[in-house]
Amino acid sequence: MAEVAIIKTAAEQQLAAGWQEAKGRLPGPALLRATAFERFAATGLPHRRVEEWKYTDLRALMRDAKPLAEAPDGAAKARAKEAGAALSPIEGRRLVLVDGSFVAELSDLAALESGLRVRSLAQALATGDRAVTGLIGTVAPTDDVAVALNTAFMGDGVVIEIAECATLTRPLHLVFVSSGRRPASVFTRSLALIGARARVMLVESHEGPEGCDDQVNTALELAVGDEAHVDHIKLTGAGAGSLHISSLMAAVGARARFNEFLFTTGATVVRNQLFVRFEGEGTVAGIRGATLLQGRQHADTTVVADHVAAACTSRELFKSVLDDESRGVFQGRITVRPNAQRTDAKMATHALLLSEGAEADNKPELEIFADDVQCGHGATAGALDEDLLFYLKARGIPAKEAQSLLIEAFVGEAVEGIEHAGLRDALMEQVAAWLKARG
Amino acid sequence: MLEIKDLHVDVDGRQILNGLDLVVEKGSVHAIMGPNGSGKSTLAHVLAGKEDYVVTGGQILFDGEDILALEPDERAARGLFLAFQYPLEIPGVATFNFLRTAINAQRKKRGEPELPVPDVMRRVREAAAKLGIDQDMLRRGLNVGFSGGEKKRNEILQMALLEPRLCVLDETDSGLDIDALKIVSDGVNRLRSPERSFVVITHYQRLLNYIVPDVVHVLSRGRIARTGGKELALELEAKGYAQYQEEAV
């Protein structure tokens, strides 16, 4: 096969060997997996000459591919009990995945609200549930290579179904924990199907022991029904892997409200990619995020907002605080298809550089095929304002505290977009902790 | 209380203060007047400790101690307050939180216990009411969307709450209409006490009708050119600054 010539780095070879070894025992749709692996094999890992991955060169960043994670043992599960505790004030229904496997006994599956169904993806695949296998890769299709790898290797995940008109008063909290037993590749795939006029807040937190060397590839397909109101918040915290790739593929129906938030403080190399398709008219969406990086951390946020239907409003606001030699990347594309008249799409990204060695890269793209639209983008990168610092210091606030106040205010502008007050507070506490650790 | 000796200051390599001497006694109000470019604002900023003003000579003694090596926050904790000519807007930092942080940062530095939130709230509410600042403004970002007059009132509010011993007012009258000027001046006058001194920097005599000074200085070309009583301000109003700036351009 000509494609094989593309496989050349050690990581690519290990992925290919891993595929050969695992393909026979991975549950579910063999053809879908094989096709997805072929997609990867045709190009190999994305590198800097692949425009979508320009700033996050996986071919260079991935020295190797870790072996697939093993099912968690008792000790791994025991360590996972405290995971996600920082979010306990939101009193979410915990759905826990350890090393990529759904762990029912750690999850809160008691007294599910009417209209809520939760299953393990692995089980659905193993039993050949066509309703699930038939959906994978179809909610908001993409030919992204990382997603293809996820489809090829997906082990487990959560399948969440929420019936029409169901309102979940408790948030669903997907807790992803790496045990750090040994460096592993973790491929999780989840599906969330939200019925029309339903209301839910979906929180994902990813964490692990400090310095965890896992390679995480996690994906969520999210279908938001007409007039539904869905908030999805993803936290990438400490120990979320030496490489953490996350893909959201969302399709949003008509007159819906959709709020996405990415909060990133952890993992060594992070790629958060959002593919959001607006498929019904009159939806209002907020796509926001805050990233706080230190040391040599690298976080890439790549957003593709695809306006297929008319009269949708999307607002993007991303803030990054970059210390030491960290690097923050934002790539945002807004596509307005020919029928998506009266689209109102705006995107803003702001980076605060706390050190000479930090770097912010920004790439906005607008692709507009309709004529009656409002689209815009704005980007800034800079240091803290010395005059503002002086004003605070002149009031008796020491320099470090003055910096922290300004940084909190900077990040707070994005966090304010989260509707849930308890979650907002929890995130601002994490910001404060990050600032405190900065010393 | 404040003693400035032979102060020389450069800004961007240009000498702005050029051997300034000034003594402000405890409990007194000194006005510093002078033409544009004479160094009035530079003096205010140097007192507060702004970094980009380079002191090339002289001393600033506060309670007999040279404060030039101190950071701005350390000077503030010792009781020095600068009311800014152009108060800055800080979105995302709510006015109340800012006040609480500042009050407690200063107390901490002085070794005093922190004030609990309810106490801060009570003090802020009382002080704000006297200045006609409503509660909604306290919840908003610091100075964000405030009018010029509101910003100046907010400066006086901070001054009242931080209880400094030396207040430096940098052109607090600029941009104020007569009503706002009166509110601000009343706020300042309420704070006058035998323990507290004021340095009121202004271009115009008008403010001094409301905040009546004990001593008036004329600043010209980076040094005090003349010192007199409050009648000196009236003389300047009548004759202008011409005699002090013939070489200034």
Interval A289-294 mean pLDDT: 98
Which among A395, A403, A425, A435 is the top mutation candidate for probing chain B, defined by the most B β-carbons within 10 Å of its own β-carbon? A395
Range of the domain at A163: 2-438
- Complete DSSP assignment for B131-182: TT--HHHHHSEETTT--HHHHHHHHHHHHHHH--SEEEEESTTTT--HHHHH
Domain count, chain B: 1
- Tokens matching residue A239: 């120990």
Task: Give the model's confidence band at B99: pLDDT under 50 very low, under 70 low, under 90 confident, else very high.
Answer: very high
Q: What is the pLDDT of residue B246?
A: 53
Least confident piece of the model among A85-89, A278-282, A294-298? A85-89
Q: What is the pLDDT of residue B35?
A: 87
pLDDT at A403 over 60: yes
Question: For residues A385 and B102, what is the distance between their CA atoms, to the nearest angstrom?
Answer: 18
List of chain B residues whose C-beta atoms are within 8 Å of the C-beta of residue A390: 48, 50-51, 72
Q: Which pLDDT belongs to residue B237? A: 85
Confidence of residue A3 (pLDDT cuts 50, 70, 90): very low
Interchain contact A413–B (C-beta under 8 A): yes
Lowest pLDDT segment from A13-22, A348-357, B145-154: B145-154
Q: Which two tokens stand for residue B152?
A: 């100046």
Cα gap A28→B7, rounded to integer Å:
82
In chain A, the number of structural domains is 1
Across residues B90-102, what is the average pLDDT? 93
* Residue A425 clears pLDDT 70, i.e. is over it: yes
Give A2's pLDDT tier (boundaries 50, 70, 90): very low
> Whole-model pTM?
0.92
**A396 close contact with B: CB closer than 8 A:** yes
Using an 8 Å CB-CB cutoff, list chain A residues near B158.
Answer: 395
**pLDDT given for residue A6 in this prediction:** 67
pLDDT at A379: 95
* CA closest to B90 among chain A residues: A388
On whether the CB atoms of residues A416 and A424 are closer than 8 A, the answer is: yes
Confidence of residue A4 (pLDDT cuts 50, 70, 90): very low
- CB contact under 8 Å between B71 and A402, yes or no, is no
Q: Range of B58's domain?
A: 2-245
Of A394, A405, A406, the CB nearest to B72: A394
Task: Using the structure block, give the residue that is written with the tokens 């271009």.
Answer: B203
User: Which amino acid type is present at position B46?
Assistant: V
Residues of A in contact with B85 (CB under 8 A): none
Interchain contact, A393 vs B162, CB within 8 Å: no
**Spatial distance between the Cα atoms of A48 and A55, rounded to a whole number of angstroms:** 6
Residue of chain B nearest A405, judged by CA positions: B93
- Is the confidence at residue A315, as pLDDT, over 50? yes
CB distance B71–A393 less than 8 Å?
yes
Asked if A408 reaches chain B (Cβ–Cβ under 8 Å), the answer is yes
> Across the interface, do B49 and A398 touch by the CB < 8 Å criterion?
no
Residues contacting residue A232 through CB under 8 Å, at least 6 positions apart: A201, A202, A203, A204, A220, A222, A248, A250, A258, A259, A260, A261
B141–A409: do the CB atoms touch at under 8 Å?
yes
Is A295 touching B (CB cutoff 8 A)? no
| A392: chain B residues, CB-CB within 8 Å | 90, 98, 102
> pLDDT (tens digit, 9 = 90+) per residue, B185-240?
999 999 999 999 999 999 888 899 999 999 999 999 999 999 999 999 888 888 88
B173/A226: higher pLDDT: A226
CATH of the domain at B113: 3.40.50.300
CB pair distance less than 8 Å for A399 and B73 = yes
Contacts of A391 in chain B (CB under 8 A): 84, 87-88, 90
- Cβ contact, residue pair A395, B158, below 8 Å: yes
Q: Which residue of A has its CA nearest to B74?
A: A396
Span B103-109, mean pLDDT? 95
8 Å CB contact of A413 and B48: no
Per-residue DSSP letter, B234: H
